[in-house]
Structure 1
Amino acid sequence: MMLSRLPRRSYTYAETPIERLDRLTDLLDGPNIYIKRDDLLGLAGGGNKTRKLEFLIADALEKGADTIVTCGALQSNHCRLTLAAAVKEGLKCQLVLEEGPSTSYDADANGNNLLYNLLGVEHIKVVENGTNVIEEMNILGEELIASGRKPYLIPIGGSNVLGSVGYAACAQEILHQTFKSGLVIDHVVVASGSGGTQAGLIAGFHGNSASVKVSGINVSRSNEHQIPVIQDLVQKTAKFLNVPFTISEDSVNCYDDYVGGGYTIPTDGMIEAVQMLARTEGILLDAVYTGKVMAGLIDLVRQGKFAKDENVLFIHTGGSPSLYANHTLFNKDLFKI
């Protein structure tokens, strides 16, 4: 893969650690569980979007943008990190935020909303749940152009081809780290939402001739809708990187059993998983993404889906700032050591 030919900003100055989760592995009595700490990536609070933004913001700068526009949910980690990257580059940033099915916008909310204001967001446009946020983002972009500005629009989650390249680069990083340490990873487990992280990893491992199976735990959609999204993005990312790749039926693996009532809607499995990792490893997950993904991994281990001698790598995509806007969820104590 010719990643070096692409414009790229650098927001993290070291590889994120890969750690063995000793106590969780012992507790579950399953495979060896490792974690890739992408919650420790650069920018405000860290998270997987930082890798995508290294390529997206570089493209925006190359095109002479003065304003970044993106969209997401009320407590969007992607919006927080995009805003932080814009601030670091001296750009303005405007956000389109979609209300939840049972959550209205609160200007004084904690979590990421607090950070939007602290980081100096220029404008927040709030839309009702179910609104086409991409369309609203495009309208906002047109208004900025009409006013003489030069906006650069980034889709939900930064999950276009250029954003996915960030996780093709992450696949290379993982292979470099594991080669140095002598660790062989059999499976990677990651959130499958807007799709860029999972698609980038699949394309990246394939581009490096590495037979690592990537399993996505869906956080918002059924497999019927999710798998075609990932397949399409893998194909486009591989083509962009000049990686020969023909999508087969088993190229994309997703589990849709852990979505619950839908995106941002809590599940008991998520609550147990967040409490379990906090109380065994001292690591914080979030309620929307990593909590549901860890719930999926825990359940798959309990079902015996992995052999005991296999090495499974969980990608921690960040998101812990949103915990502070959802603290009452964890009053329900579902895990005790």
Structure 2
Amino acid sequence: MVTQKPLSYPPRVNLAHLPTPLQPLDRITEKFSTPHGGPRIWVKRDDLTETAMSGNKLRKLEFVAGEARAQGCDTLITCGGVQSNHCRTTALVGARLGMRVQLILRGEFEGIPDGNLLVDQLAGAATAFYPPREYFSDLEKLFEHWRDFYAERGHKAFCIPTGASDGLGIWGYIAGSEELLANCRDRGFVPEHIVCATGSGGTQAGLTLGCQLLGSTARVTGYAVCDNAEYFQQKVREDIRHWSSLSGNAVDESALSINVNADYIGPGYAIAEEPVYRAIAEAASLEGLLLDPVYTGKAFYGLLQELHKGTYRDCQNLVFVHTGGQFGLFPHRENFPFLL
């Protein structure tokens, strides 16, 4: 349980178009219902938060940018893969707010920029590329290097962790869970399950904590796209613990219900197999819903498999949170030969 007291939100910059729509996926529901029944599938369209379909990242960055401004910072530094949705969103937020953006990118780049990287560069973000081994072993030092680099030039930088997933960023989905539950009430139902992709843990942490704070009985499940279930169990707890420290709200961690399905990660992060690409095509052709093979496509594929198994047959309403990422679809264009 959480020791309740009125929540005092930290500084926030209003960037997203909220509330985002909640839509039924009735063709998907009909196709994947079983003889034993199953839930009506809904989608929370957080891919429509704005800023070039920046999805869940924009909710988090509203609070990150608010804190950066409160501290008098004029520069944002963050990190991620070459096709990071979070880095792309940070680049666009910085451009919108007149702040410099430095991206620490994992991987090497050659040729013509595509997808998120193209948007990073269009938005004017500075990019620095590092081999994966150096990136993972020296990330803290890389942040220090770039923070000092800008300080020496008279600028004050605010450092943002991977995915803005920490005790500050999860405010975005504490507020987001309140919005989602209000959407459901307006449509006349109470969700039994809320499902999202989980890659850095912050969205799942915010939804999990938000539902608990609001007294919802919905079971939040993160479909992992990398690492393993144990990692996300720990990461979600760390983010909530950090939130508790920053906000002064006590949390009984033993009461937290942290649910992770890590059965559909596939070969690894940002690597998908043909069934995932087929699920992406199916969502687009049945519902006009565009998913990506790194996050939402993997999670949605996993959800469809669990529906087929009858995992949710005793549930009446299930909400899939579409966290965005469509720009990450285009660098995978060669994986859709079955469309030709």
Give the secondary-structure state (helix, strand or coil) at the position aligned to 1:78: helix
Give the secondary-structure state (helix, strand or coil) at the position aligned to 2:170: helix
Return the match for 1:62 from 66, 70, 79. 70
Gaps of 5+ in 1: none
Give the secondary-structure state (helix, strand or coil) at the position aligned to 2:15: coil
* Separation of aligned partners in 2, 1:183 and 1:312: 10
* Separation of aligned partners in 2, 1:308 and 1:246: 29
What is the percentage of aligned positions where both structures have the same residue? 35
**Which residues of 2 match residues 34-183 of structure 1 at below 5 A?**
34-99=42-107, 104-106=108-110, 108-121=112-125, 123-130=126-133, 131-132=135-136, 133-183=139-189
Partner of 2:282: 276
Give 1:278 shift. Answer: 0.7
Partner of 1:6: 10
Question: Aligned AA for 1:129?
Answer: P
Q: CA contact under 8 A between 1:285 and 1:320: conserved in structure 2?
A: yes
Give 1:157 shift. Answer: 0.3
Give 1:134 shift. Answer: 4.0
Give the secondary-structure state (helix, strand or coil) at the position aligned to 2:189: coil
* Separation of aligned partners in 2, 1:322 and 1:174: 25
Partner of 1:316: 322
Q: Does 1:23 align with 2:27?
A: yes
Partner of 2:225: 219
Question: Aligned AA for 1:180?
Answer: D
For structure 1, which segment, 165-174 or 218-227, has the greater mean C-alpha deviation from structure 2 after superposition?
218-227
Give 1:314 shift. Answer: 0.4
Question: Aligned AA for 2:215?
Answer: S
* Separation of aligned partners in 2, 1:40 and 1:283: 11
Q: Does 1:184 align with 2:187?
A: no
Return the match for 2:299 from 293, 302, 310. 293
TM-score (norm 1): 0.92
Q: CA contact under 8 A between 2:44 and 2:321: conserved in structure 1?
A: yes
* Separation of aligned partners in 1, 2:19 and 2:241: 27
Partner of 2:313: 307
Give the secondary-structure state (helix, strand or coil) at the position aligned to 2:13: coil
Residue by residue, what CA displacement relative to the aligned partner does 1:78-131 show, whole Å, maximum 9, x if unpaired? 0111111111111111101101xxxx413512111111121111x210000232
The 3 A distance-change label for structure 1 pair 276 and 172 is same
Q: Does 1:258 align with 2:261?
A: no
* Separation of aligned partners in 1, 2:231 and 2:173: 22
Q: CA contact under 8 A between 1:109 and 1:325: conserved in structure 2?
A: no
TM-score (norm 2): 0.92
Give 1:149 shift. Answer: 1.4
Return the match for 1:197 from 183, 194, 203. 203
The 3 A distance-change label for structure 1 pair 10 and 306 is same
Q: What's the RMSD between the two structures over aligned residues?
A: 1.9
